[in-house]
Structure 1
């Protein structure tokens, strides 16, 4: 009789399926298989140890019945002697494990809807029928059965009790507050009349405060509206005086014109400073942040103050590095201009240095002077309103003490920093610190063909001035003609277009200077674009205005047009005209 092993192959045995059908193969693979089985046994023992010794309860159960498996921590949480005791005594989770059937139903429905739930706070029933507060995390195991779940349970009884104690403390505190309030109300019955009188006074104070606020708002509106009307005649007078200064006058008349010029300059500066201080104190001046070429800005200010340095016989140097910042162009110019004005005002010999330097991730605008200096005890006082470094009558044109106050407020609005150091009798240094901005370098636009280029001087430059104030038109015409310009004046957009229709193609303006507020609610921006459309090219243009509101500034900046504030200072007008003609 043949042994079963000698019978013909009728199928595959377990050895064949595992690759161990031949004796030689079994000899080769049995050690590897045994090693893998040992590894699996070690892994099983590790997970078993974790399961049995976990701090939190772990169980597997059927929501329709009881536990399939659980660990000792689960039994401890529920008050049972062992996990076997828990499994044998709790055979219905709904009635025997959960303290409330409604809570079980809610948990079960959420689990069936979502497949899992995490850290759900609920109550379980202990062996002594008391509740235990837990945070339970459940996961459905549809591969093991339609309502088989695995769970992790954390005992949060101490946390819940602490929360309940805190709630009780709050209730007790509220009760004590109510008791004390009632006692105070009873004690204050005799003072009711005084309280009523006090409330009456408070109402009157609130009304007075609102009246004061309204008066402040009215003041701001008045200043904004009046500034345009106040600055317009000052602008005309300043331009007329500038034209006279360029004329050949007898010595006495020239001295009188110079004195009038200084008086007008002082009035303009005071009015501009008062308007800016008012807006800054009312927080009505908001920064309009745009990317600005800081090197170009400082060089422009350097050209503006070259004449001041020449007249004062002071050495003036500008040292810059290429840099871009995202800033309010107008505020930054005002800050540096005020610092330079102070430096020249209080420097009688030596010189002034305007420098731009980098320091790590920050930029430093430095203004050095060899002036009278400031005592250390007064360094903090120089930024207060109407504070002057020198008493009146010590020589030189005195300010009104608002320049550095404006600097300090604008720096605060922009989020920059300022540092001052000084030695009396030797000079001062003001440093404005700001962050560096990294932006792409833009190439300047190519100049259109067939357009005149003015590299120096204004001889032959054709300037179109649009302003609805006849006195301003006349004064601008006189001043620009003194500089060698050919001047065309128009009181409105319609008049400017009609004037262009009378000119030949070779007589078209090279530059447009337009007031912002024209008649019939029209603006200088609209007039500029109408003239450009008429000429068929982008003529360089700028807006000249007495309106210093942030709204106007944003509108003009959106049109990418430079702005010059009235009253127009001749050196700034000259710098603007030079810039516009260089791009023509």
Structure 2
């Protein structure tokens, strides 16, 4: 019957029957051993009370004939339990089975010996002794019920040896004594029923603990797998990062050279048509530089390490391209386009700010079928407040959070591609978080929508220089002696053309040894030193600059790098040296050299 209960529990919980049986048996043996000491103490207490009560009512020889074997059997049970407990954790299953059988034999012997007390002590001429003996046996039975609550089989086999003897004794005393035998039999049946329920509850609790442990083991195994997968992913990501850094440097070098050559060409005496071609070429290179940087920055977006390129911007620089793009779209849909803004400067990331506005305006035009779309940028205190309004269908209050989730589209159950794919506002949410723009939505069904956000004002506009802004360097610039450490032949050639066009004194070397040799020949250091951070044979510009910082002021050294690995960029930015990211324009180089000249 115990096997039947265990099979049901293991089946219900989806555990292997043999594994559950082992867990159940270990717990049962452990509990019976742990309860042996208090059970033995209880038996000795009952015997002490019994001796005190019947000392002068029963022959001492009969009392000792019963007490002696019972005490010996109890002490033997205690010894067996302690021995099992010491070895239980290291036992194999067959040894646990043998321990279970030893405990069962001990229970049978103990129950039988205690039950014999009704014959050895109770069978005297006075009924008082028999009554006391029956009470002592019954109390022992209750203790056995508690001790064997986890083992129904042991209790079922041993209780008849205990309670059966007083029941038989009183049944043999005549019909009148059946009034004692019958309650004893009823008590025995109640105890059997109680232990059966307790044993079943115990089996279920073990099964649940077994299942919990199995689940914990499974979770631990899955955790280890996840950690191994994470380690592999981290290694792959690390390899990808190193690849992106190396590829970034290698790909930026020719773009850097092309940019320098185009800037150098602008200093040459060209006709008006050629000047216009060079101007458009420079614009195309600038667009290419922007697209290229965005492409390489994807790895930083994926890693969550993208840092906005915050700088002073002209609001006109932000709004004019948007107006040129979206006004025709509104006219094509028969919508009124309104765009108003103040010509001020603000502090933000041009690419991210333009993308944020672009996505919001695109959404407004896409979902507005009549009326107008308006874009306003006004100064409010120390901020520029942007507002994009439309007269579209509006948005339910419950949906005003959902619309910023990935791939969520309202009123487009057929997933019409003309209405986008549901990523526009999800991108808006990410950019809003990056720029801390404080985006809000005000909308009601049938009354259109209004999206607002903010950007801080800047003290001045930082506009990109046009071709005509490129002025020839002043005399202080020309008088400088500039050294460059660059190992790429194409970049070295482009730099030579640029410095020749400026009329500036310069020297270009490929590594630290050549730099030190040049210093030895020149008997001193230059007015300005420009170092590429990623040189051949494992050399890097930062190490060279650090080694020279005691001989040459830091403000006269510039580090340039095409490495966009976030950790390296941060290290260069925090080094104390001037730092620029490739590809660098001629204007940037000129600005830095002039700052050294006027220092």
Q: Greater relative contact order: 1 or 2 (C-alpha under 8 angstroms, separation 6 or more)?
A: 2
* Rg comparison, structure with higher value: 2
Common fold: TM-score over 0.5: no
The TM-score normalised by the length of structure 1 is 0.41
Report which of the two has the higher share of strand. Answer: 1
